[in-house]
Amino acid sequence: PDPSKQCRAAPSDLFGIPSTKMVAYSFLWPLALIVLLFFLWGFANSINDVLIKHFSKTFSLMDWQAGLVQGAFYIGYFFGALPAAMVARRFSYKATVVVGLCLFAVGSFWFFPASQCFPSY
């Protein structure tokens, strides 16, 4: 037998599971993006408490008014859960992530017009 042919390994090297380099690396980039997005969404969620503290100082808000800001942030989860589930069921989870990112971007861009209402701040 030819020794060069004997040393070749089949595509099912890893635990007997058939795989190729294309299959192994095809999910690496989307996985990295989803992990990054979860960190970004977590950052936006955790920065909310810091922003509320500064909003209450800057705009002289009482505690219950500052609580309304946090309530407005979390009420989106309440009202957005069922429409997101319908989008995921009808299209796919990928479409749901894209729609969520677009809504997140639109909400973020709304900070610019809101900042123009109080130019001294």
- 48, 70 Cβ separation under 8 angstroms: yes
pLDDT at 70: 83
Taking only the tens of pLDDT, the chain with its 121 residues reads 555 555 555 555 555 555 555 555 677 787 888 888 889 888 888 888 888 888 888 888 888 888 888 888 888 888 988 988 998 999 988 888 888 888 888 988 887 777 777 665 5
Give the whole-angstrom CA distance, residue 18 versus residue 38: 30
- 87, 96 Cβ separation under 8 angstroms: yes
User: What's the pTM?
Assistant: 0.55
- Report the b/e string of 23-35 with b at 16+ CB within 10 A: eeeeeeeeeeeee
pLDDT at 73: 81
pLDDT at 90: 92
Instruction: Return the half-sphere exposure (C-beta side, CA atoms, 13 A cut-off) of residue 60.
Output: 0
- 20, 11 Cβ separation under 8 angstroms: yes
- Residue count of the chain: 121
